[in-house]
Structure 1
């Protein structure tokens, strides 16, 4: 799909009228899509787990943060590349702090600034709260080119502060490499085939797995033994294992324990087997 160009005020008005940067949940349309900014390096288009639509991410760090958000029990909506509109508000902030407001390259058109993530987060009392997150590598905040980056982040911070929305910066220091590797693996197993999505089967699976915790076998060996006892294929046993971890029916320290089939079975705690189980693949 061909990317869009922002070369005039008419372009911006057209994109606004076409619904870019508007909506919520599955109906939200990011202001910027991967194909609109091909020069921004590693990018990703990923089908959502929490939200049923394609997410447009412009860096590995944004992908990592999406994984963290989707794994959270509290994040109920994720809107990436969210526009700071109306521009007049952002431009007024820039003027008030003596910062040059950005323009589109090779034009005199003021840029529509964006926030990397706008999240809807469930609060302990059941209410929802909106939070804004800028995703930046640490080097972008401390390197030679950081001054301009920090100026634009200050515009962004004040824009959301004026609306009573909490804003913050997320860097690669906020999560471990192991956590992101684990979530990338587990995310492939968020749904079970109908024949495996059975509470009795899952309960038996966990019982057998718990019984094997005392033995010095690798995770792969343990899963093979469980598969044999339950007349499952090894691939089905792996799928169930990762599924149970993703949905927190069994809990593991994912931030500090890399899930490897060749490593010992990690320490885990059984939480629940049915309360949060989603629909099977074939029932969607």
Structure 2
């Protein structure tokens, strides 16, 4: 199907169901709505996620920022974006609440409602689900949005699944910007290394070097020196440091506004090198 806004029909809904949209887990999950299926007020994106084992479909900036925070959390074990709600149930709930069920624009087709994220959490060995919808704060008082959220919240309450709103104004944006910066070190889809396992090899060397280091120069200065010692191209040292941060081998304060300039003493090397993988695209 081509990109852009689609006019929804019952036939198209059946086609998407046949494709397996809204089903599966982990790397096999297919979101109900994919990037470019609909018009978006924000930027759509499809970042690869090692945690999810696939590219995820994010339909706005608020969704993207929320996703980066969720993916980073070690309590989160699974993320399903644009998760569809059972349409028969949402129609029943809307009728019971006396709320008009949403319909696709310009049609008489009831909307397959979705929640932005259905998230699997593991808290000290106990697993639970939580449903999240992402909103800009200025949209929170819009009456029609409130009505649709009532349907969604009632839907998940019937399944004993908490439903929570995430507002863009409440997100820890400095932390999220740093997570994005760290993710920039990941191997991109289709990218070829200088030789197989090059990043993994250099990551092991850097992690062992940092584990016994008493240096306290800024991270970027250390990385430039590392490049010189290892015969790497400019920028590759900092990229390897980002990989170590992504793997939690090199830990830091994500509230720092300039990690590249932070002194090495503000980082901690856990040296779990056996668990290292140069995570990235497929």
| TM-score scaled by length of structure 1 | 0.84
Change (3 A) 1:206 1:122: same
Q: Secondary structure at the match of 1:189?
A: coil
Post-superposition offset of 1:248: 1.4
Partner of 1:168: 164
Count of equivalent residues: 273
Partner of 1:94: 94
Partner of 2:208: 204
**Structure 1 unaligned blocks of 5 or more:** none
Partner of 2:190: none
Q: Secondary structure at the match of 2:260?
A: coil
- 8 Å CA contact 2:199–2:278 kept in 1: the answer is no
Q: Structure 2 CA distance, aligned partners of 1:135 and 1:280?
A: 27
Mapping of residues 71-82 of structure 1, within 5 Å: 71-82=72-83
Post-superposition offset of 1:45: 2.1
Task: Please tell me whether residue 194 in structure 1 is matched to residue 190 in structure 2.
Answer: no
Change (3 A) 1:69 1:204: same
Q: Structure 1 CA distance, aligned partners of 2:155 and 2:162?
A: 10
Q: Secondary structure at the match of 2:273?
A: coil
Post-superposition offset of 1:167: 1.6
Partner of 2:154: 158
Q: Structure 1 CA distance, aligned partners of 2:208 and 2:43?
A: 43
Partner of 1:66: 67
Post-superposition offset of 1:196: 4.0
The one-character-per-residue Cα deviations of 1:216-252 (angstroms, maximum 9, x if unpaired) are x433223223444556555332122111211112221
Q: Structure 2 CA distance, aligned partners of 1:174 and 1:156?
A: 21
Partner of 1:138: 137
Task: Please tell me whether residue 222 in structure 1 is matched to residue 222 in structure 2.
Answer: yes
Post-superposition offset of 1:109: 1.3
Partner of 1:179: 175
Q: Structure 2 CA distance, aligned partners of 1:113 and 1:266?
A: 49
The one-character-per-residue Cα deviations of 1:140-193 (angstroms, maximum 9, x if unpaired) are 114xxx221111111111111111212211122343221121111111224596
Partner of 1:9: 10
Partner of 1:30: 31
Change (3 A) 1:2 1:277: same
Q: Structure 2 CA distance, aligned partners of 1:280 and 1:55?
A: 15
Q: Secondary structure at the match of 1:119?
A: strand
Root-mean-square deviation over aligned CA pairs: 2.7
The one-character-per-residue Cα deviations of 1:10-41 (angstroms, maximum 9, x if unpaired) are 33233222322111122211111122112544
Q: Secondary structure at the match of 1:57?
A: coil
Task: Please tell me whether residue 259 in structure 1 is matched to residue 258 in structure 2.
Answer: yes
Post-superposition offset of 1:272: 3.7
Q: Secondary structure at the match of 2:124?
A: coil
Partner of 1:149: 145
Q: Secondary structure at the match of 1:132?
A: strand
Q: Structure 2 CA distance, aligned partners of 1:84 and 1:122?
A: 23
- 8 Å CA contact 1:194–1:280 kept in 2: the answer is no
